[in-house]
Amino acid sequence: MTTRAPRRDSVENRAGILDAARATLATDPRASIDVIARSAGLSRRTLYGHFDDREALIRELISVGAQRFNAIAESVTDTDSRIALARLAARLWQEAAHVQVAAALALDEAHVQHTADALAPLRRTVAALARRGQEDGSFRTDLPAPTLARLIEEVARTVVSRTDAHSAGAAGLAVRTLLSIAGLSWREADELLAAHPDIVESQEVSA
């Protein structure tokens, strides 16, 4: 027995709900399911046909966002560990900056486990990068690689939730912060970014 593909209007409604939820939560993180439904131009009943409750909707937002973050992790192929970390940080910041409130919701305590599971591919990339950076002498070695990777994750979480995405130099601050945690001095970070200006400049322009 074959599974019937979702109707086109059903798929479009679901996508519209997710888009409306992102936009609505950006202005009111506590927006109710009714407000989100109205923003999507749908009835509450239609919304509940796609999501059981507000929590299910938020979890879906997290899962969809995680897919984008995981794809970004796969896109970074630099062999220099320092450049790879800087580029990864810049691209992740650009994505998070556009959906900062939704990203903050994904990182709050109520959703931390779901977020961690959804971001497993990205977390593996960070762990491998931390290990590689230590092995080639680019990153600090006073901490075990798993601890360094975890520290990078936690600092990135803080940067996303506490930094004003629209402030001047926000992307550069995010990148420099993670390079510092990895063990680079501020001078080394400046030299690296000066040698590769495209890493941060493209993110500042598009943020």
State residue 161's pLDDT score. 75
Fold held by 59-206: Tetracycline Repressor; domain 2 (1.10.357)
Instruction: State how far the Cα of 135 lies from the Cα of 185, in Å rounded to an integer.
Output: 18
Is residue 9's pLDDT more than 60?
yes
CA distances from 6 to 1, 58, 118 (A): 16, 21, 24
Return mean pLDDT, the chain.
88
Instruction: State how far the Cα of 180 lies from the Cα of 168, in Å rounded to an integer.
Output: 20
Domain ranges of the chain: 1-51, 59-206
Tokens 């009111």 sit on residue: 28
Is residue 134's pLDDT more than 60?
yes
Name the DSSP letter for residue 139: S
Q: Which CATH superfamily is domain 1-51 in?
A: Homeodomain-like (1.10.10.60)
Could you tell me the pLDDT band of residue 6, with boundaries at 50, 70 and 90? low
* Mean pLDDT of the 46-64 span: 92
Q: Where are the alpha helices (DSSP H) in 49-169?
A: 54-75, 81-98, 100-106, 112-118, 120-135, 145-162
Task: Look up the pTM and report it.
Answer: 0.83
